[in-house]
Structure 1
């Protein structure tokens, strides 16, 4: 299974009552595939507000995305949580709906040991034939998936990749130690080019909602050996990479990118509590960011 170089972790559109906006979801999938050149879409990941989606909403999103994408891109279902049995249940239900792969986050809050994390992912992998992308994001989960544990998991046949948010150093060690079929994706937009330079395969992105085309060009330029052009594009895009998360104060994902999409004419709606929309100062900053695109 090739999930491609540019994967977008898709937001979940809501209407004014906070329900999933299916008409806008349909438009957004088309836009991300056709206009922003996403190779795959992650559905119901962190950017899709998975913590506030019900199981029924997630499963309906998986079904809808598979049908709408219609083989134009791969659909990756976010079925991981900190309850192994529940992750297995959601994984098996997603598999029935025809998704192409899974994104499984490191268990959060209950702080398992590395052996516990290994057995968690091993149990889920044994429950499905779908290819799995691990997701290491210690800023959200507290527990970090170590290099050694990741490399152990990489030997399980259907664990095929990891989304790594710990550090470029960890990406370097994973690429050096893993078998050649195991792929490492950056989970940090601003680290996309630096991680490619140390052997990462691609990026699972938030910014690709609005700058997918130049991001794809940056990746292609690097792979074709035009390092100067790749660096130029990275420098050009860097304010957007950082601005969607950090300016003028740290913003929870996906508050900023949803607002940016609204400014571009996509009626994706508000975020669900406990997330909140950008304040006045943050909104003005995002407007300037979008106007610079």
Structure 2
């Protein structure tokens, strides 16, 4: 994986689900077919593993290591970049996962803000990120901004200010928030070798117009082929086509949200659309009622009849 480690990250990055067996144990056998599905059916060649979609906070450190290693091994020669999320409530655990990511030759790591004992301001958060990064100082590093889940409402731009001096390996931010002013300020501050990646799938076009370099999201697991067309249309100046695809994604997600669209539903929708067997989520996330995922899958196929 290492040769592409300093290649600027652009385009779509699928935030992967963690495959489980019916008994709730990690299922490594499904990772190879999963990667083939992403590359061959969805045209997605970058992945963000062990993140929110991957239920990382419900996994043990040992499980996260096993998964990260399997993703990196199976992605070799097929994926452009594998970003391993190593954020934890414990600084020591995050550092341990960082050293492991370097050992398995992950292309980059990402770190979310701790959300139990929360950093009180940007300087405290930057100190935490710096300590994690110090465990593998040359490994490309991304800050994962997700205030709605972490409750850490520090503007991402405040985190970026001067961070290149603290973390020379810093390469950008996964911005999973709806504040497009803050997002735009991050893009404006961005150094040439950084990537500002948007994480609210239903608003991607707005982020591209603000200058975003790519996107990380769960829906790109099963709708990546369509969103790739959105990005191509935008880059070619065809805003009508780009808006048409974005509006279709909004129609799909609006339908899903009315039915109750959470991680359990999203994972089951991936099972329905892809044909993979990723299993149920792990408690406290509840499994999805089959009829709900099937209803959303029917809506998906009615909106997107083919790639």
Counterpart of 1:116 in structure 2 is 124
Counterpart of 1:173 in structure 2 is 185
Q: Would you say how many aligned residue pairs link Structure 1 and Structure 2?
A: 290
Query: 2-side partners of 1:238 and 1:180: how far apart?
Result: 31
Counterpart of 2:298 in structure 1 is 288
Q: What SS does structure 1 have at the residue aligned with 2:105? A: coil
Quote the offset at 1:267 in angstroms. Answer: 1.0
Quote the offset at 1:176 in angstroms. Answer: 1.5
Query: 1-side partners of 2:262 and 2:198: how far apart?
Result: 19
TM-score by length of 2: 0.89
Superposed CA deviations along residues 142-165 of structure 1, whole A, max 9, x for unmatched, are 113422222322453211110112
Check 1:135–1:243 CA distance in 2 against 1; reply closer, same or farther (3 A cut).
farther
Quote the offset at 1:120 in angstroms. Answer: 0.6
Bigger CA drift: 279-288 or 140-149? Answer: 279-288
Please say if 1:163 is aligned against 2:170. Answer: no
Unpaired runs of 5+ in structure 2? 1-5
Check 1:278–1:151 CA distance in 2 against 1; reply closer, same or farther (3 A cut).
same
Quote the offset at 1:290 in angstroms. Answer: 3.2
Quote the offset at 1:75 in angstroms. Answer: 1.0
Counterpart of 1:185 in structure 2 is 197
Q: Report matched runs for 1:98-247 at 5 Å.
A: 98-114=105-121, 115-128=123-136, 129-146=138-155, 147-155=157-165, 156-166=167-177, 167-244=179-256, 246-247=257-258
Quote the offset at 1:191 in angstroms. Answer: 1.5
Unpaired runs of 5+ in structure 1? none
TM-score by length of 1: 0.93
Please say if 1:91 is aligned against 2:98. Answer: yes
Query: 2-side partners of 1:41 and 1:53: how far apart?
Result: 18
Quote the offset at 1:111 in angstroms. Answer: 1.4
- Structure 1 residue ranges (4+ consecutive) displaced by more than 4 angstroms after TM superposition: none
Quote the offset at 1:280 in angstroms. Answer: 6.1
Check 1:32–1:12 CA distance in 2 against 1; reply closer, same or farther (3 A cut).
same
Please say if 1:77 is aligned against 2:84. Answer: yes
Q: Report matched runs for 1:23-38 at 5 Å.
A: 23-38=29-44
Q: Do the aligned residues in 2 keep the contact of 1:151 with 1:174 (CA within 8 Å)?
A: no
Query: 2-side partners of 1:177 and 1:94: how far apart?
Result: 28
Q: Do the aligned residues in 2 keep the contact of 1:151 with 1:178 (CA within 8 Å)?
A: no
Check 1:37–1:154 CA distance in 2 against 1; reply closer, same or farther (3 A cut).
farther
Quote the offset at 1:23 in angstroms. Answer: 1.9
Q: What SS does structure 1 have at the residue aligned with 2:162? A: helix
Query: 2-side partners of 1:61 and 1:242: how far apart?
Result: 32
Q: What SS does structure 2 have at the residue aligned with 1:204? A: strand
Q: Do the aligned residues in 2 keep the contact of 1:7 with 1:205 (CA within 8 Å)?
A: yes
Query: 2-side partners of 1:224 and 1:154: how far apart?
Result: 32
RMSD value over aligned CA atoms? 1.7
Quote the offset at 1:289 in angstroms. Answer: 2.4
Superposed CA deviations along residues 71-116 of structure 1, whole A, max 9, x for unmatched, are 3221111101232222111100111011111111112121112221
Query: 2-side partners of 1:241 and 1:170: how far apart?
Result: 24
